């Protein structure tokens, strides 16, 4: 029995020594120490030993069991450590590899200019009101004192959405004058930026969709001097403090008197060049004193209140502010162009 025990010890310890994975350890444990294991079987034969032999054999059997159990525990620790190491190696991150840089975009140049314009008006106490791009002809034209036979109402000029010409894509932000007074009453000081639509061919200065900023001030005692002071302030904030402006008589159905505002060409200083088409002046916006009929159409008494309104083309301001010569660049969104701002 002694030899058998020694043999079990040697064989098992050798086998454990060369085991390469956890399942092998468990297999060996069952094979030797399990209920039907080799050592267990030997122990069952202890009864057949003489009482003198028994204690020594019992001790030896226990020693063999402990040695095997210890070896299993030790080997199990080793294998676990190896597995952990292999896992760490497999998941190793090389922190010296340069990262993938995320290209960050930024605001579109037109929106940069819009934000600046908004801020200038907010500083002067104006509210900003958003309007819808789909509008009623009544608001886009009629309430703005536009005659029934006005050319802007033609189907060749305006995108109508219904056969009866009642619903359209707004051709200007001016209907927001009416909607703002209807919603907020007077006195009022507001701007309303947004998209407008006209059946224009695309060229360097035209697009069927462009952006306008409408402005409206109505209060008691508002005069043309307020209009000029306000618009000069805005124009000089955008184009530069020394910008020379010119208020030129014009006609709009919803203002009386009406004017167009020009700035002296920032490229040639008024001499005449391709940018100003040889004029020396560049038109930047339309404006005027709100027509009494428009005030009446909104339920405001023109004897008590007066006001001024203006509409400026946002693209044109962006072009002028960045000295860009072709409006198509603003819409094409070519990254090589956008990256420059
Ligand atoms: N709505 C005009 C246009 O699209 C621009 C304009 C002119 C707006 C005079 C105004 C204004 O508010 O008073 O051409």
- Give residue-wise pLDDT tens across range 262-282: 999 877 889 999 878 899 999
79 found inside a domain? yes
Alpha-helix residue ranges (DSSP H) falling in the chain: 2-18, 22-33, 38-44, 53-90, 109-123, 137-140, 175-184, 224-239, 292-297, 314-322, 328-332, 335-338
- pLDDT computed for residue 297 by the predictor: 97
Question: Do residues 146 and 11 both lie within one domain?
Answer: no
Q: What is the CA radius of gyration of the chain?
A: 44
Question: Do residues 74 and 198 both lie within one domain?
Answer: no
104 found inside a domain? no
pLDDT confidence band for 1 (50 / 70 / 90): confident
Does the bond joining 28 to the residue before it have cis omega, within 30 degrees of 0?
A: no
Please state the domain count of the chain. 2
Q: Is the CB of 310 under 6 A from ligand 1?
A: yes
pLDDT confidence band for 236 (50 / 70 / 90): very high
Q: Is the CB of 286 under 6 A from ligand 1?
A: yes
Question: Do residues 158 and 253 both lie within one domain?
Answer: yes
C-alpha of residue 308 to centroid of ligand 1, in Å: 11
pLDDT confidence band for 73 (50 / 70 / 90): confident
- pLDDT computed for residue 155 by the predictor: 95
Nearest ligand 1 atom to alpha carbon 174: 1
pLDDT confidence band for 164 (50 / 70 / 90): very high
Q: Is the CB of 307 under 6 A from ligand 1?
A: no
Distance CA 226, CA 276 (A): 28
Q: What is the pLDDT of residues 200-221, one digit of tens each?
A: 988 877 899 999 999 999 999 9
97 found inside a domain? no
Question: Do residues 143 and 28 both lie within one domain?
Answer: no
- pLDDT computed for residue 257 by the predictor: 98
Given 62, 90, 118, the domain boundary residue is 90
Distance CA 201, CA 197 (A): 12
pLDDT at 37 over 90: no
Distance CA 321, CA 235 (A): 10
The answer to whether 315 and 226 have CB atoms below 8 angstroms apart is no
Question: Do residues 86 and 114 both lie within one domain?
Answer: no
pLDDT at 109 over 80: yes
Given 58, 90, 122, the domain boundary residue is 90
- 202 to each of 81, 153, 172, 317, 326, how far by Cα in Å? 72, 20, 18, 18, 11
How high does pLDDT run on average in the chain?
92
95 found inside a domain? no
Average pLDDT over residues 227-243: 94
From 216, 254, 307, 316, give the residue whose CB has the most ligand 1 atoms within 8 Å, as the site to mutate. 254
Average pLDDT over residues 239-245: 92
CATH number of the domain that residue 235 is part of? 3.30.930.10
Given 33, 62, 90, the domain boundary residue is 90
- pLDDT computed for residue 143 by the predictor: 98
Residue with CA at minimum distance from ligand 1 atom 4: 172
Is 0.85 topped by the overall pTM? Answer: no
Domain extent at residue 200: 109-338
């Amino acid at each position: 029995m002694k030899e058998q025990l020694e043999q079990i010890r040697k064989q098992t310890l050798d086998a454990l020594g060369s085991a390469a994975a956890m399942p092998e350890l468990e297999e060996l444990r069952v094979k030797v120490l399990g209920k039907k294991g080799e050592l267990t079987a030997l122990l069952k034969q202890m009864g057949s030993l003489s009482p003198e032999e028994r204690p020594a054999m019992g001790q030896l059997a226990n020693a063999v069991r402990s040695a095997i159990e210890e070896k299993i525990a030790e080997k199990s620790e080793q294998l676990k450590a190896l597995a952990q190491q292999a896992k760490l190696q497999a998941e190793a991150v090389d922190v010296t590899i340069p990262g993938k840089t995320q290209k960050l975009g930024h605001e579109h140049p037109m929106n940069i200019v819009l934000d600046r314009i908004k801020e200038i008006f907010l500083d002067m106490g104006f509210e900003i009101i958003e309007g819808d791009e789909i509008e009623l002809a009544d608001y886009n034209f009629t309430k703005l004192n536009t005659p029934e036979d006005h050319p802007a109402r033609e189907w060749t000029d305006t995108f109508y959405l219904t056969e009866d010409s009642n619903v359209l894509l707004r051709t200007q932000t001016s209907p927001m004058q009416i909607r703002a007074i209807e919603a907020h009453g007077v006195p009022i000081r507001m701007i309303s930026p947004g998209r407008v639509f006209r059946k224009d061919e695309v060229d360097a200065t035209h697009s069927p969709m462009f952006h306008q900023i409408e402005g409206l001030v109505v209060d008691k005692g508002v005069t043309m001097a307020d209009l000029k002071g306000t618009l000069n302030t805005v124009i000089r904030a955008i184009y530069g403090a020394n910008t020379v402006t010119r208020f030129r008589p014009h006609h709009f159905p919803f203002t009386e008197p009406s004017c167009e505002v020009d700035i002296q060409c920032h490229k040639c200083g008024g001499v005449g060049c391709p940018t100003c088409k040889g004029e020396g002046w560049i038109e930047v916006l339309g404006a005027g004193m709100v027509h009494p009929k428009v005030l009446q159409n909104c339920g405001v008494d023109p004897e008590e209140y007066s006001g001024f309104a203006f509409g400026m083309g946002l693209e044109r301001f962006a072009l002028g502010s960045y000295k860009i010569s072709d409006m198509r660049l603003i819409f094409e969104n070519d990254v090589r162009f956008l990256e420059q701002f």
